[in-house]
């Protein structure tokens, strides 16, 4: 089948592309390489059609969706602090870009659309585990624009019968996660620190818990959603379990240093998995210890990643503390 993956050179996208190829599908990747990397596709670059394009702008990329059986819309800007500093770029990428993709899907009668949403839309939930019915309360422009993109997808799906599903990912980790750019996801920060023999920078007291979901499980959920007859639905995609940051550090092994707790961050992320288990019969396969073992086996991937210290984290996140309040 003809599959189009926006953001296919990124972390989750490249893993999805690899799986689709293993399943003998034809794959078109559309990516502007703002966060994605060609090296993520190197092993199978001769098997895909790759187009460098910005989906927030009109262009020749649009006709690549013609005759597509499915569009996996993963392209997005996905950092917190830069979204505070430059909300316009995030609106253009995550909202206008999504609008443009949906417009093309409607024009070319694409058979199914899978949208990658974010659990950050819940903000600081009142209930744990957190279900899809929880109030949407984004705390920063990244979360807001991903939620707005999801609203567009669900509205277009119902109004124009586009056959779309949105998946809200919880704390995805694994190989090929971003190694450059701004201060970002915890595992990338910790692995670079481990390689440099520097202490892990733990936010707050480290007792906050997260629902970490291994990337191959996320890909399983995406494929299962595509192959199902489900439409006009939103699903949480998580492990359904939580673990503290302090426990992660103890598994990784090494010294730690504590840095100030950040406003607008929940003390817990914890996906309620009842809906996806009931309707799609999906559940994750990789537990946290297995996942950490996998990334440690390929830790050299993070050799060129920036090594963050309490000082440069403080500088990088100053706008976080300036604008976001508890």
Count of residues in the chain: 326
Catalytic residue positions?
A: 142
Asked whether 43 and 175 are in contact (CB, 8 A), the reply is no
Phi-psi map region of 240: left, alpha, beta (phi>0 left; psi -120 to 50 alpha): left
Asked whether 201 and 186 are in contact (CB, 8 A), the reply is no
Taking alpha carbons only, the member of 199, 195, 198, 197 closest to residue 303 is 195
What lies within 8 Å, CB to CB, of 144 at 6+ separation is 138
Cβ neighbours around 85 below 10 Å, total: 15
Asked whether 68 and 55 are in contact (CB, 8 A), the reply is no
């Amino acid at each position: 089948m003809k599959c189009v993956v926006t953001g296919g050179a990124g972390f989750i996208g490249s893993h999805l592309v690899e799986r689709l190829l293993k399943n003998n599908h034809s794959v078109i990747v559309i990516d502007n390489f703002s966060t994605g990397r060609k090296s993520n596709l190197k092993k199978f670059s001769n098997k895909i059609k790759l187009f460098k394009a910005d989906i927030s702008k009109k262009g020749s990329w649009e006709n690549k969706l013609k005759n597509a059986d499915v569009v996996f819309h993963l392209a997005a800007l996905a950092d917190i602090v830069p979204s505070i500093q430059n909300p316009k770029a995030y609106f253009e990428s995550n909202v206008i870009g999504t609008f443009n993709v949906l417009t093309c899907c409607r024009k070319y009668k694409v058979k199914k659309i899978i949208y990658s949403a974010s659990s950050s839309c819940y903000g600081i939930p009142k209930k744990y585990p957190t279900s899809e019915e929880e109030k949407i309360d984004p705390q920063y422009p990244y979360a807001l624009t991903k939620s707005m993109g999801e609203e567009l997808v669900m509205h277009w799906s119902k109004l124009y019968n586009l056959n779309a599903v949105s998946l809200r990912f919880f704390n995805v980790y694994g190989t090929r996660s971003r190694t450059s750019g701004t201060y970002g996801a915890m595992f990338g920060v910790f692995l670079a620190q481990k390689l440099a023999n520097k202490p892990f920078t733990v936010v707050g007291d480290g007792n906050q818990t997260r629902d970490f979901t291994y990337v191959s499980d996320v890909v399983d959920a995406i494929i299962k959603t595509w192959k199902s007859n489900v439409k006009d639905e939103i699903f949480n995609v998580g492990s359904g379990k939580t673990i503290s940051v302090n426990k992660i550090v103890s598994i990784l092994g090494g010294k730690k240093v504590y840095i100030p707790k950040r406003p607008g961050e929940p003390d817990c992320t914890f996906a309620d998995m009842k809906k996806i288990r009931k309707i799609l019969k999906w559940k994750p396969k990789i537990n946290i210890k297995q996942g950490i073992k996998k990334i440690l086996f390929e830790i050299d991937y993070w050799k060129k990643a920036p090594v963050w210290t309490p000082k440069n984290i403080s500088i990088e996140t100053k706008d976080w503390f300036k604008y976001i309040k508890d």
